[in-house]
Amino acid sequence: MKTTMSYIRVIGFMILAFFLLELIVDTGEGWAIIQYPIIWAILAMVFLFAIAVEIIAAALQRVLFAGLNDEAKERYKTMEAVRNENRFAWFKRKYTEMLGAKPIESEQEIVLDHNYDGIRELDNNLPPWWTYLFYITIVFGVAYFVYYEVFDGPNQIDEYKVEVAIAKEEIAEYKKNNQDLIDAETVELLTEPSDIAAGKTIFSENCVACHKESGGGGIGPNLTDDNWILGGGIKNVFHTISEGGRAGKGMIPWKSDLKPGEIAQVASYVLSLYGTNPPDGKDPEGDIWKNESALTE
Ligand code: HEC
């Protein structure tokens, strides 16, 4: 009465199936098994169901077996033994077929004539899997040669360049979606109209009291001219807005009120005011900032 523990088999197959699925269907996300605990719930239910079936079947079998007379019991045992014997017969047969080799018993027929000091050659067939593998390598070799050598397929350097280009795009995309990862070191001037518009809104809400709507300056200095007290260019302006001006001057650090992405937007808006020359602008303060590109771009 051998009831191999099929629930172990079942669970094994299910897990195998999931692993295969994960391998084949690559969603680019994490493991579905981890992400969706419902899968475990279903698995557990199937598992419990399999155990239940197993237990019921085993109990039934025991009851039925107990009811048999001795002769029938014997017969049943022989049947069981035969079945176990034949269990993998199909695989065994297929395997021998695949091998295509003469079995040891009939090797005499294929020993070649020549004889070197008692060493003789056994001319057995090569296993078909081996031969076909060999043919495949030939086909592969020809295809490879033609593709890469004759038709000049992409070499490693080309592939490298393609991958770097893709990676750069991904980085740009990533930066776009994670605007708050920037700081004064990494910030770049934003030129998208949407960013400038957002910067203008932030500026109107927080900065106009001291810098005026035009940026021409009031309590704070003129932000539209060539002169900067704390340094021009996106990196310095970002730094000033984030960390504040000199102690006691009135320009507070904004990093607790504005996110890095917002600081970048308002800083870019400030720089977009360069050269607008508002009529009520304050006189220049500080030094002329020479890094043209950062200002005018
Ligand atoms: C309470 C008044 C006040 C507010 C509000 C204010 N600032 Fe200022 N800002 C100043 C003062 C004063 C300075 C000069 C600081 C110094 O001299 O150290 C300054 C300096 C600056 C500078 C540097 C100018 C230079 O010449 O280096 C920038 C850029 C700037 N502010 C942008 C902003 C932005 C953007 C906002 C809004 C988020 C803002 N400020 C809000 C008062 C203010």
Dump pLDDT digits (tens) for 53-107: 888 988 898 888 888 888 888 888 888 888 887 778 888 777 777 777 777 778 8
Q: What is the pLDDT of residue 69?
A: 86
Give me the phi and psi of 122, to 5 degrees please: -100, 110
Q: What is the pLDDT of residue 36?
A: 73
CA of 197 to the centre of ligand 1 (A): 19
Q: Considering the chain, what percentage of its residues have pLDDT values greater than 90?
A: 36
pLDDT digits 0-9 by tens, 144-164: 999 998 988 888 999 999 999
Pocket (CB within 6 angstroms of ligand 1): 203, 206-207, 209-211, 219-221, 223, 228-230, 237, 240-241, 245-246, 249-251, 254, 266, 270, 286
**Band (7; pLDDT cuts 50, 70, 90):** low
CA of 264 to the centre of ligand 1 (A): 15
Average pLDDT of the chain, as a whole number = 85
**Band (234; pLDDT cuts 50, 70, 90):** very high
CA of 220 to the centre of ligand 1 (A): 5
pLDDT digits 0-9 by tens, 236-275: 999 999 999 999 899 999 999 999 999 999 999 999 999 8
CA of 228 to the centre of ligand 1 (A): 11
Q: What is the pLDDT of residue 152?
A: 87
The average pLDDT across 123-148 equals 90
Determine the atom of ligand 1 nearest the C-alpha atom of 237.
29
Give me the count of residues in the chain.
297
Whether the per-residue pLDDT at 209 is higher than 90: the answer is yes
The average pLDDT across 113-118 equals 87
Give pTM, 2 decimals: 0.52
The average pLDDT across 200-212 equals 94
Q: What is the pLDDT of residue 27?
A: 65
- Residue whose CB lies within 8 A of the most ligand 1 atoms, among 229, 240, 259, 271, for a mutation test: 240
Name the residue with higher pLDDT: 16 or 167: 167
Q: What is the pLDDT of residue 2?
A: 47
Residue nearest to atom 11 of ligand 1 (CA): 220
CA of 245 to the centre of ligand 1 (A): 7
- Residue whose CB lies within 8 A of the most ligand 1 atoms, among 211, 236, 256, for a mutation test: 211
Name all domains of the chain by residue range, CATH numbers in brackets: 6-87 (no CATH), 193-296 (1.10.760.10)
Q: What angle do CA 245, 246, 248 make, to 5 degrees?
A: 110
**Band (1; pLDDT cuts 50, 70, 90):** very low
Q: What is the pLDDT of residue 215?
A: 93
Pairs from 48-54 (Cβ < 8 Å, separation ≥ 24): 50/6, 50/7, 50/10, 50/11, 51/7, 54/3, 54/5, 54/6, 54/7
Q: What angle do CA 39, 45, 47 make, to 5 degrees?
A: 100
Determine the atom of ligand 1 nearest the C-alpha atom of 269.
35
Residue nearest to atom 5 of ligand 1 (CA): 207
Whether the per-residue pLDDT at 293 is higher than 60: the answer is no
